[in-house]
Amino acid sequence: MRYEFMETIKLKKDQSTKSTGIKITGAEAIIHCLLAEGVDLIYGYPGGAIMPVYDELYKFQDKLTHILTRHEQGATHAAQGFARVTGKVGVAMATSGPGATNLVTGLADAQIDSTPIVCITGQVPRHLLGSDAFQETDIIGISTPVTKWNHQITKASEIPEVMAKAFYIAKSGRPGPVLIDITKNAQFEEFEFSYEKCTGVRSYKPVPEPSIKAIEAAAELINSAKKPYIVWGQGVILGKAEEALKAFVEKAGIPAAWTIMGESALPTSHPMNVGMVGMHGNYGPNVLTNECDVLIAIGMRFDDRVTGNLDTYAKQAKIIHFEIDPAEVNKNVAVDIAVLGNAKTTLELILPLINENSHEEWHKEFDKKYKEEFAQVIEKDLHPSKPGLTMGEVIEEINLASEHEAVIVTDVGQHQMAACRYAKFKHSKSNITSGGLGTMGFALPAAIGAKMGAMEREVVAIIGDGGYQMTIQELGVIFQHNIPVKIVVLNNDHLGMVRQWQELFFESRYASTVMTNPDFVKIAEGYHIEAKRVTERKDLKTVVQEMIASKNPYFLEVRVEKEDNVFPMIPSGASVSEIRLK
């Protein structure tokens, strides 16, 4: 039955469960554990090995909303979107065998992007483990490389402790995905249930203790710098350090740039915000990385898409790394000072030691580079003279119509880089994208999760025609639950980013990148979603405004230039100084 999700979820808030001390089945225990952790929303897909849990879930519909996605991968991405916009743990559930293996892409995406999700899978009965039983797969072995922790439960009595540990590990320190596999016999067995939240795990220290000596040394280096430069990442958002970052950059007067995972931690309009680093980042933030004298990395991991050629990356600079995960320190880039700990804590500790400054001459260097980029790239993207529509101008119209208040969810490709470059944000947790794994098909289900996690906010999914078709079936979720997500497909009839590389580096040999696409508008209408197509500039503004004003789900296809490229661009293996404007 179709229903209004917003009204339904209101009835389920602030409900919880208590430890009962009575005998219940393992399946019911799973539900009580979820309720004890404050979970009221699950994404999943039932099947034989997880059916006992779904049977109990049916009995708890007044307390837990289950969203039937159309594919298990969609369940993980929806859980990710929910987690990223709320800061809570997202939950996904699937059966054994193919159901479990279909979760792996989402687990890998969540692992590299530090997203807290707990995935629960059913498994064949304990006595059949290792027998190649129907729909048996070693999901523990398969998921070990792409989870923060995983565990197989074979006895019902293990459920409370393991579930409590799962949620603690997923959300503590540097967050990440956890998978719990539960054999079918454990779901049927009865035991005396009690639940206690996990507050610590022996030998696991999620947050390092900050070193005052390191903080003092970092402050001294920053205060003596002539050309200090900050690059922040998602660690600022995950650590709830947005206000601490803002206070730090304003007092120190230091230009600050962001990775795509860190975008929106500081408002786009903030005077210290100088733009994006990375392969398709802004010109100044990339080039001037190799001209700063002190580079301050905050909650970022020196990903190869940020650094380019490591042999030439910031070799002239002293490097300070604020980081919660010791494994990331000196992994890719050797640093001079490591400041370990939660970003909020360490930034608040260093703030009193920082001198007030403005670094006006240094800021002028960024202004100069921005003017060059604006003249050669930005002006052409946002205000093109050619007849064909550009991705940049579509993003700009969405900015204007949403007044920079929207959550933007992107897939992977040219549209992703255009959105990250041109979307404007006032609030944190507004840019939801697949960063480290680069998962096509991420955006549509992630937007569903993001909207359900922030019903008061406008959520716009910006997707390419290639990635859209990888999880297009999740339109069924939007239709069934009337989730007012806005979907914008930027259609250039190509796998655009691959095509760009083929043009630039493979002599325009477009091998398997041209797409013959279906009628996307008719498909959306088949799911009873209002849908329109824009092919000319004169119609763009009006239709985008109509889309944002709508209180219902809305699909918009925009036909954009087929052979338009995203610049600036750092060629693979090149230095950040070798970024190309054309």
Q: Looking at the annotation, which residues are catalytic?
A: 72, 134-135, 184, 497
Yes or no: say if 459 and 450 are a contact pair by the CB < 8 Å rule: yes
Say how far residue 82 (Cα) sits from the centre of its chain: 10
Q: What are phi and psi of 151, to 5 degrees?
A: -160, 140
Q: What is the secondary structure of 73-107 as a DSSP string?
A: HHHHHHHHHHHHHHSS-EEEEE-STHHHHTTHHHH
Q: Which helix H or strand E contains 123, and what residues bound it?
A: strand 117-123
Residues 6+ apart with CB under 8 A from 217: 337
CB neighbours of residue 21 within 10 Å: 9
Separation CA 491–CA 515 (nearest Å) = 10
Yes or no: say if 277 and 257 are a contact pair by the CB < 8 Å rule: yes
Burial class (CB in 10 A: 0-12, 13-18, 19+), 226: exposed
Long-range contacts of 312-318 (CB under 8 A, 24+ apart): 312/575, 312/576, 312/577, 313/289, 313/575, 313/576, 314/289, 314/290, 315/290, 316/290, 316/291, 316/292, 317/229, 317/289, 317/292, 317/293, 318/221, 318/225, 318/293, 318/294
Yes or no: say if 248 and 329 are a contact pair by the CB < 8 Å rule: no
Separation CA 195–CA 170 (nearest Å) = 18
Separation CA 290–CA 313 (nearest Å) = 7
